[in-house]
Structure 1
Amino acid sequence: MRRYLNLFPDKTLDNTKQLIIEGFSSAEECLREMYRKPDIVILDYYLDVSNQISINGMDLMQEIHEKSPSTKVIIVSGQSNADLTSKLIKFGAFSYVAKDQYYEKQLRGVITDILQVSQENPDWNEIKIKRWSYNVYGVILYILLVYFIIRICS
Structure 2
Amino acid sequence: MQNSKKIKLFLVDDDALFLKSLEIQFLDNADFDIETFATGELCIENLYKNPDVIILDYNLDGIDNTAMNGLKTLDKIKISKIKIPVIMLSSQDKIEVAVSCMHHKAFDYVIKSETAFVRLQKIITSIFKYQKIEKELNWYMNRM
Does TM-score exceed 0.5, indicating one fold?
A: yes
Match among 97, 111, 116 for residue 98 of structure 1: 111
| 1:80 alignment partner, SS class | coil
| 1:47 alignment partner, SS class | coil
Shift of 1:20: 1.1
| 2:54 alignment partner, SS class | strand
Q: Which residue of 1 aligns with 2:3?
A: none
Equivalences for 1:137-148 in 2 at 5 Å?
none
Taking the aligned partners of 1:103 and 1:66, their CA distance within structure 2 comes to 27
Structure 2-normalised TM-score? 0.68
Structure 1 pair 34–47 and aligned structure 2 pair: CA distance change class (3 A): same
Asked if 1:109 is matched to 2:122, the reply is: yes
Shift of 1:89: 0.5
Structure 1 pair 107–120 and aligned structure 2 pair: CA distance change class (3 A): same
Match among 86, 89, 112 for residue 76 of structure 1: 89
Q: Which residue of 1 aligns with 2:57?
A: 44
Larger radius of gyration: 2
| 1:108 alignment partner, SS class | helix
Structure 1-normalised TM-score? 0.64
Shift of 1:104: 1.3
| 2:93 alignment partner, SS class | coil
Q: Give me the CA root mean square deviation.
A: 2.7
Shift of 1:54: 3.1
| 2:78 alignment partner, SS class | helix
Q: Which residue of 2 aligns with 1:33?
A: 46
Taking the aligned partners of 2:27 and 2:136, their CA distance within structure 1 comes to 25
| 1:121 alignment partner, SS class | helix
Taking the aligned partners of 1:124 and 1:72, their CA distance within structure 2 comes to 19
Higher relative contact order (CA 8 A, sep 6+): 1
Matched-pair contact (CA < 8 Å) for 2:89–2:109? yes
Select the structure that is richer in helix: 2
Structure 1 pair 118–86 and aligned structure 2 pair: CA distance change class (3 A): same
Shift of 1:7: 4.1
